[in-house]
Amino acid sequence: MHFLYLMGISGALAQHLPSDKKATPETQRLYSNLQRLAQKGVMFGHQDDLAYGVGWQYEEGRSDVKSVVGEYPAVFGWDLGHLERGDSVNLDNVPFSKMRQYIQEVYARGGVNTISWHLNNPYNGKTAWDTTMTIRHILAGGKPKRTYKRWLNTVADFMKSLKGPNGEAVPVIFRPFHEHTGSWFWWGKQACTPEEYKQLWQYTVKRLQKKKVHNLLYAYSTDVFPTKEEYLERYPSDEIVDLVGFDTYHRDHSPAGDSAFIANTRRMLSILQNVGQEHQKLTAITETGLEQIPSPDWWTRVLLPSVKGFHLTYVLLWRNGRPDHYYAPYPGQVSAENFRQFFQDNQLWFEKKTAAENLYK
């Protein structure tokens, strides 16, 4: 009855459903609210924000972003790398038990969680950065497939263990096999054909759903790309993707490099916005940043003009992992003052405005 009712109504309503037909009510609501929200503002995100920052780790309630602007980010990124090995901490040393707790806290506060997975190579046990051809061996069956299947079970168990106050599963934006248009991971461009990449995605999503994981929105996220054709070359299919995005880092910090970053990001966002409209998917910059932010006004001079005017779901800054590897400011950092100005911009949404939207209701 319910299904027929939906079928009878045109695209307008149908487009508000996530790709997983069995998505939990909270996941469905998150998806439809994120579509609405994209018209109003861009959520600010930060990887591992609650776990550690520059000079500290695992301190209850602490966040470098909050220390600078008085508010948490709206989106929190986490990574499951090494969960597949049965480790108790991820590849960046975050205990999975703490990650679960942070994810649940974020949900309770009305924020959004997204999870990437720098998983080891299931063919030879080396790291995610081992570029041995692997996907064809997984798809062929045998030991690599059994290994990968077992690893997926650990992901399924983790996703299902994320619980809200009423026992409901916490919705998560899952972003596997990212930056695949580059060639530094075993799922990268030079290690598989577009068809193999798509099949790995299909297998992954099907398997997770078979394990009764229905609290995920799926994100397809490339590295920087030259054209729309290249962006879509390895796109798995509308049936299993909910959000399209890309990762882009600002590496050349010079006057010419700054302008090039802004121009290039805007060029890619125009393509992304077009893809998002055509495929009716959410859009996001899934990773970005200028390492160590040496530029005092980077936030309002470079990042803001890069995204201004685009209807994105979020922009996520990478992790504050080490004194030489961080992407969000901390008190006293040279760009902290400017980050406070960036925070004032109406287009950027942090925790409070986001929470007020009741994304799960």
CA dihedral in degrees (316, 322, 323, 328; nearest 10)? Answer: 10
| Minimum distance from residue 280 beta carbon to ligand BMA (Å) | 30
Contact residue for ligand BMA among 30, 38, 91, 119 (CB under 6 A): 91
Q: How far is the CB of 249 from ligand BMA (least distance, A)?
A: 9
Binding residues for ligand BMA, rule CB under 6 A, total 8
317 forms part of the interface with ligand BMA (CB under 6 A):
no
CA dist., res. 215 & res. 31, Å (int)? 11
Rounded least distance, CB 94 to ligand BMA, Å? 9
Give just the sign of the alpha carbon dihedral 259, 346, 282, 217.
positive
Q: Which is nearer to ligand BMA, 150 or 325 (CB)?
A: 325
CB of 325 to ligand BMA, least distance (A): 6
Residues 6+ apart with CB under 8 A from 213: 155, 156, 159, 160
Q: Please report how close the Cβ of residue 27 comes to ligand BMA at its closest, in angstroms.
A: 25
The token pair at 116 is: 């990437």
How many residues make up the chain in this entry? 361
| Choice between 31 and 78, CB closer to ligand BMA | 78
Part in contact with ligand BMA (CB under 6 A); list of ranges 131-139, 256-264, 314-322, 350-358: 314-322
Contacts for 309-312 with beta carbons within 8 Å, 24 or more apart? 310/42, 310/266, 310/269, 310/273, 310/283, 311/38, 311/39, 311/42, 311/273, 311/283, 312/38, 312/42, 312/269, 312/283, 312/284, 312/285
- Nearer Cβ to ligand BMA, position 47 or 204? 47
Residue 103 Cβ vs ligand BMA, minimum distance, rounded to whole Å: 16
Encoded one letter per residue, x for contact with ligand BMA by CB under 6 A and - for no contact, window 57-86 reads ----------------------x-x-----
Site stretch for ligand BMA (CB under 6 A), options 61-69, 203-211, 313-321, 337-345: 313-321
> Is residue 319 near ligand BMA by the rule CB under 6 A?
yes
Of 310 and 318, the one with the shorter C-beta distance to ligand BMA is 318
Listed ranges 8-16, 32-40, 203-211, 317-325: which one lies at the site for ligand BMA (CB under 6 A): 317-325
Residue (of 174, 151, 157) closest to 213 by Cα position: 157
Q: Taking CB under 6 A as the criterion, which residues in 109-148 touch ligand BMA? A: 118
Q: What's the start-to-end Cα distance of the chain, in Å?
A: 23
d(Cα 134, Cα 236) in Å, to the nearest integer? 18
Give the DSSP H/E element, type plus range, for residue 270.
helix 255-279
Pair type for strands 314-317 and 348-349:
unpaired
Q: Give me the residues that bind ligand BMA (CB under 6 A), please.
A: 79, 81, 91-92, 118, 318-319, 321
